[in-house]
Amino acid sequence: MGLTILVGHSNMDLDCLGSLILARYIYPESIALRSGRLHPLAKNLFTLFKHHLNLAHPRDIKGLPVDELVVFDTRNPDLIKEYMPFLGSAPRITTVWDHHTTQSLEIPQAQLISKTIGANTSMVALEVQRLGHTPGPDEATIALAGIYADTGEFSHPSVTPEDFQAAAWLTQCGADIPLIHKLLVKLSETHQMDLFHQVLDRLERRSIQGHQVLSAYLELPGQMPGLAAVAEQVLAVEQADALVLVFWLRKPGAHLIIARGESRHIDLGRLLGHFGGGGHPQAASALVKYSQDIPVYRHLLSYLESHLDTALQAKDILRRIDYLTPDQTLLSASIALEDQNQSGAPVVTPQGDLLGILTLRDIQKARKQEQMHAPVSAYMTRKVVTTPGEATIREVEGLFYQHSIGHLPVLADSRVIGMVTRNDYLAFLRGEATPGRNTPAGRRR
């Protein structure tokens, strides 16, 4: 019988370390290896818990027979090839624990253990819990840090209830949450902080096809660790749909593009594929090995101009409803709203000109005053905030927040063509709205 060897992907991150520390409960006689490079965010934790992690250098196992290789947090053979020269002959079994479910398994002859889950560590943790083990507080801290890091502190769309379950269990095991918070300081290096401010200074904001896009171009002496973290922090403070940073790296003589996004309607991985890069819809990068004479930054921006899908507009998420007329009674208006399951509707002339808006609240007022036979015009609100159909969702959102309204009539050539409600906007935030979702007039959902 040979050894059982545990590895994570190259440029080991906190999710790898978290997976490895817990995996020893599943593979008790195993040896975990460290990768040549450590992700910058994992450095502090690694320094603090070196003795616990007890990672062997790949050269320590050179020449020893390996029976089983267990790979964590990747299914891409390129990301584990640094260990291969030390393994000698091919291991009898290769097992892969990986949560990147959209990628294909390319490690030959491997058995895959996979789950759609925010952090790989969560998947390993739930298995350790199922087996009935109880990690110590330090191990729980390391593991929970991995879950925090890979889920963006439970904020990424990939987070599942199981990530919370794993986190709750690790907290019971004694994970130190304030310590994790300290270890997850994003811009821990002075050069990252400097760069963060330089990027902010140079930041350009433009609307591309209705999307808010931030961009900046900087020159650096060479590749630096932690550039992605800088990009993420800039996006966190500046709020936009996407951020693209282009760095000219003097040393290898190449352009590095780092893109981060917050919109479900932009696939940055696909866009940077054009520049020889790739990644996820919300996080991607590319290294463009042209000379500095090629204006990669300008190319990138014009590529976005021509390849970003148009952002959703008010006319894409509006609902078409039956409008009210100024001279109908409040009683009939209230029945009309109830029939359509609406909490308000625009009041329009037969020609479609907007006169006001009537909501259930106006009707309640009339009911209290026993005025249900009064005309709509007596109780409607005449000062109405409206939007043109071409307004982007961002502009619509601004109107909702700024005026604290629930109903927003949409106009085309000063005629009402529909209404966007708070619920329509919420549906968009949840990622439900797609163009053409509009319900026809009078039909209830």
Taking the complex as a whole, the smallest distance from the CB of residue 277 to Mn ion amounts, in Å, to: 19
Q: Give how many residues touch Mn ion by CB under 5 A.
A: 4
Sheet holding 278-279, edge to edge: 204-208, 211-220, 242-249, 254-261, 283-288, 278-279
44 CB contacts (<8 Å, ≥6 apart)? 183, 185, 188
Range 128-157, binding Mn ion (CB under 5 A): 150
Taking the complex as a whole, the smallest distance from the CB of residue 73 to Mn ion amounts, in Å, to: 4
Candidates 8-16, 81-89, 213-221, 406-414; binding stretch for Mn ion (CB under 5 A): 8-16
Q: Which residue is nearest to Mn ion (CB)?
A: 15
Nearer to Mn ion, 107 or 380 (CB): 107
Taking the complex as a whole, the smallest distance from the CB of residue 420 to Mn ion amounts, in Å, to: 38
Query: Binding string, 13-52, against Mn ion, x = CB under 5 A?
Result: --x-------------------------------------
Phi, psi of 323 (to 5 degrees): -85, 165
Query: How is 396-419 classified by DSSP, letter by letter?
Result: HHHHHHHHT-SEEEEEETTEEEEE
Indicate whether 120 belongs to the interface with Mn ion (CB under 5 A). Answer: yes
Taking the complex as a whole, the smallest distance from the CB of residue 311 to Mn ion amounts, in Å, to: 30
Query: Residue 51's CB: how many other CB atoms inside 10 A?
Result: 7
Taking the complex as a whole, the smallest distance from the CB of residue 15 to Mn ion amounts, in Å, to: 4
Range 71-90, binding Mn ion (CB under 5 A): 73
Nearer to Mn ion, 97 or 323 (CB): 97
* Pairing label, strands 211-220, 242-249: parallel
Nearer to Mn ion, 73 or 127 (CB): 73
* Pairing label, strands 407-412, 415-421: antiparallel
Across-strand partners of 416?
Answer: 411
Indicate whether 342 belongs to the interface with Mn ion (CB under 5 A). Answer: no
Taking the complex as a whole, the smallest distance from the CB of residue 131 to Mn ion amounts, in Å, to: 21
Token couple for 391: 């307004």
Q: Report d(CA 120, CA 145) in Å as an integer.
A: 12
Indicate whether 98 belongs to the interface with Mn ion (CB under 5 A). Answer: no
Nearer to Mn ion, 76 or 421 (CB): 76
Residue type, 111: Q
127 CB contacts (<8 Å, ≥6 apart)? 26
∠ CA 291-297-302, rounded to 5°? 125
Nearer to Mn ion, 55 or 393 (CB): 55
What residue ranges bind Mn ion (CB under 5 A)? 15, 73, 120, 150
